[in-house]
Structure formats: structure tokens, C-alpha cells
Structure 1
Amino acid sequence: MATFEFPVRVRYHEVDAQGVVFNAWYLAWFDEAMTEFLEHRGLTYRTMLDAGYDVQLVHTEIDWRSGVGWGEDVVIAVSTARLGRTSFALDFQVRGTDDAGSPTVSCGCRTVYVVVAVDGTGKQEIPPLIRNALGAPEPLLPYD
């Protein structure tokens, strides 16, 4: 499956005093992109919840290379990086273009999620409906 891209236009309230997107907004973007990624692959969040599953973020690492400013158009690239028994990792990249029109990556992130039961009974094995939506791992970032 091809990498999913979620478009974002930087809004005024997302920019800090340094003139770039405040770091917390990246996590919000990645969360929204994760939901759209699953839906693009046939799994709405509502369907997952109705089936008795949810996912919880348990670990994330973000590496910034450059800032993104107000009014810029970027895409959040999303790909499955790893599948485990109860957890999976997604890779995210904030992609844009420089003044010459060349592609750029201003930020990379890997986030680990654990599948949990909505009834509060704890973590669960990744069910087929989630595993199928995630597809085969195609990491965007290298593994250490």
C-alpha cells in the first residue's frame, strides 16, 4: 500500500512567538492523521470502537529538522512501521516544499500504540479489522 498523505494548512493559532508551529500541534496533527489513515484503509474510528477496541498512544519520538510557518501547506505522511501482538507503530513525516519547489521533510515521528478494550479490561491482541487496515509495515524512518 502507498504511504497515506493527510493535508494540513498551518493556522495562525498554531504558530508560536518564534514564528513556527508550536511543538504540541504536531502531536495533534499526527493524531488526526492516524484516524484518517485508518479510515482511508477502510476502518473508521467509530467501527473500531463499536467492535470493542480503541488504541492508546504509549510512546512517541519526534525529531524536528526545520520549522513550518503560518499559512504553509504541508502533508502528514503516515505509514505502518511495525506490527506486534498487542501494539503497532506508525511513522509520520511532515512534508512540504522549499522555495525552489524541492521536497522537504521538516519533522519525523514514530508513535507506538497499544490496542485496548473499550470496556476497560485492558490491552488486547491486534484484531484482524485493525491489522488489515494497518497493512504490511513500510517504515518511513530507520530503526535504530
Structure 2
Amino acid sequence: MYRMNYKAIMLAFLLQIIAGVVWYASTPVSFLGRYFSEGISILPSIELALTFILSVFIYLLFIAWLLSKVRIPSWFGQFFLVIGIWLFIVMPNYVFVSLYLDISEPDAIYILSYGVVNCVIAAVILPLWRSSRSIFKS
């Protein structure tokens, strides 16, 4: 079994935060009621931003921990494990959002799109950049 590679976790975390900023900046007018560039001074509250950052970090730590505990030796298998987690755990949220909240299909896809981006970033970086198993590490 491998240990978690904290450099890979931090790289994936930074890429996910950058993707989150881009995702928020491209928010459709139907959510904000205005164009993002018109209300640049109206940013999310500090509590909301910290909650977002903390939830992204906890999600990434969970995925890294899970990958360090499973016995899937190939990068391909670990990649599909992370994608499978998103498909079979997070994807049913699309059905919930579509059925119980009166949101159009493009808006529901936009809501779940950030999860797809996070999943792909984690599925590519974490399995490829695994921690070394050397017994000579200090």
C-alpha cells in the first residue's frame, strides 16, 4: 500500500481552487441575476469562501486516503475508481436537482459541472503521482 503524496494533494487542491474561481466567474446570469463583471464588488462572504475551500480540501484528502488504502496497482484502475465514485455517488444529485428543484437542465448541469472538474483533476493527478514506497525514506 502507498502512503498519501501530500505534494500531489496540494497541487490538485490548487488546481481545484483555480477551477472553482473560474467556475464562479462563469456563473450564468440566471443564478446571479446580473453579469459577473457588473457586480465584481459583490463577492461571496468570507464564511462561504472558507467553507468552499475546506470542503474541497476534505474531499481531496478523502480521495487520496481512499486511493492509499485500496489495492488497485494500476493507474487506470485508480482513475476509474475516482470517476466511479463521482458517477455512482455524486451523479444521482443530478436526478434530485432535476426532479425536486425547479431548475432547467442547463442550470442543473452547471451546478454539477464543478464536481466533474474536481473529479477529473483528482483522478489524473493522485493516481499518477503516488507516494514513494522506499524503505530508505526518513
Q: Of the two structures, which has the highest relative contact order with CA contacts closer than 8 Å and spacing of 6 or more?
A: 2
**If each structure's strand is expressed as a fraction of its own residues, which one has the higher value?**
1
The normalised TM-score by structure 2 is 0.29
The normalised TM-score by structure 1 is 0.28
The structure with more radius of gyration: 2
**If each structure's helix is expressed as a fraction of its own residues, which one has the higher value?**
2
